[in-house]
Amino acid sequence: MTFSWRKRRSFRLARTLFLVAALGVTILVFLQLAPQRSAAVKPGVAAAPAPAPAPSSAAPVPDGHTAGLDAAIQGVLADNNQYQVGVAVRDPDSGALRTYGVDAPFEAASTAKVLTAVSYYKLVEAGQASLDDPMGEYTAGFQIREMIQDSDNDSWSLLVNAVGLSALEGDAAAMGVAYDSAENTLTPAGMAQILADLYGGKLLNQEHTQQLLSYMQNTNDEDLIPAAVPAGVAVFHKYGLLDGELHDAAILSTPARSVVLVIYTKGGDITDVPERTAIIHEITAAVAKTLT
């Protein structure tokens, strides 16, 4: 099955519009096309439901920090309930998870590129593909780096075609994650599971794990979660920007401990990106505080 999602424009156009929006200049609506959304998260701006209590009593942050983190995140969501926001905080070692706000599937946008990379690496490790295989004008290994580090949509299309949509869903299901390949949807908790398993070495061998994580550092856009993380905390992340979706999914790591943070947001269109960026920064700062 070929990659049938409607064609996105290049990342360079998206980043240009992002910066224009941040300056408050009149914005042309971002014309990337996307599949129909899940019924759980409707297009357009809708008030998010009241922040939901964490579904697990297990705490992904150190003892004594849970109540403060809950209050901080729920406060941010309450102050910005004109947007749909879903947050997942997960300990990659214990698996402890807390979620806030919308826990239904979002259009995952480019955050799902991490799953595509994992699926291709799995083919390589099974002897069914090679990073040196020709793909487009370059190699598969080059396309993975471009897809993750530069968020290149042409590279994504080539890799999805090589892997196959059913394989993407199967690899997600093996992690206990529901991924709809037709609509490209994930929940924040599902994306957090993918990152936790990747960081924990449960998905790929050590070489491929380290290579993929290296591509998730110093990407072509460090304005979301990385911008709100203090010095001394390493960040491995993949952002997503598409129509009304603005997301970031990251692993925050110190020598002492690590935490996975996924923040999915949905607004009207690209014009409210600065406001939703501020939401991402506030939530990130609250989580990073538990690490430092």
Token couple for 136: 């487009």
Q: Is the pLDDT of residue 57 over 50?
A: no
Ranges 50-59, 113-122, 267-276: which has the least confidence: 50-59
Question: Is residue 90 pLDDT above 70, yes or no?
Answer: yes
**Three-state DSSP class for 47?**
coil
In 3D, which of 188, 16, 13, 36 has the Cα closest to residue 100? 188
pTM value is 0.82
Given a cut of 50, whether residue 8 has pLDDT beyond it is no
pLDDT band at residue 29 using 50, 70 and 90 as cut-offs? very low
**φ, ψ at 161 (rounded to 5°):** -60, -35
Q: What is the pLDDT of residue 231?
A: 93
Higher pLDDT, 282 or 19: 282
Instruction: Give the pLDDT band of residue 67 (cuts 50, 70, 90).
Output: confident
Residue with tokens 């941040």: 22
**Predicted pLDDT of residue 30:** 33
The residues near 194 (Cβ < 8 Å, ≥ 6 apart) are: 114, 115, 118, 172, 175, 177, 186
Summarize pLDDT for 215-269 with one digit per residue, the tens: 999 999 999 999 999 999 999 999 999 989 999 999 999 999 999 999 999 999 9
Please report, for the chain, the start and end positions of each structural domain, with discontinuous segments joined by +: 11-291
φ and ψ at 198, to 5 degrees? -65, -50
264 forms beta bridges with 86, 247
Cβ–Cβ under 8 Å, residues 89 and 62: no
pLDDT band (50, 70, 90) for residue 62:
low
Give the tens place of pLDDT for each residue, 151-209.
999 999 999 999 999 999 999 999 999 999 999 999 999 999 999 999 999 999 999 99
Unique residue bearing structure tokens 């406001």: 275
How far is the C-alpha of 80 from the C-alpha of 277, rounded, in Å?
12
For residues 55 and 101, what is the distance between their CA atoms, to the nearest angstrom? 11
Calpha distance 14→216 (Å, rounded)? 19
pLDDT digits (tens, 9 = 90+) for 110-145: 999 999 999 999 999 999 999 999 999 999 999 999
Is pLDDT of 33 > 80? Answer: no
What are the backbone angles phi and psi of residue 152, rounded to the nearest 5°? -75, 120
Task: Choose which CATH entry (3.40.630.10, 1.10.760.10, 3.40.710.10, 3.40.50.720) describes domain 11-291.
Answer: 3.40.710.10
**Most confident residue range from 20-29, 60-69, 275-284:** 275-284
- For residue 66, name the pLDDT band (cuts at 50, 70, 90): confident
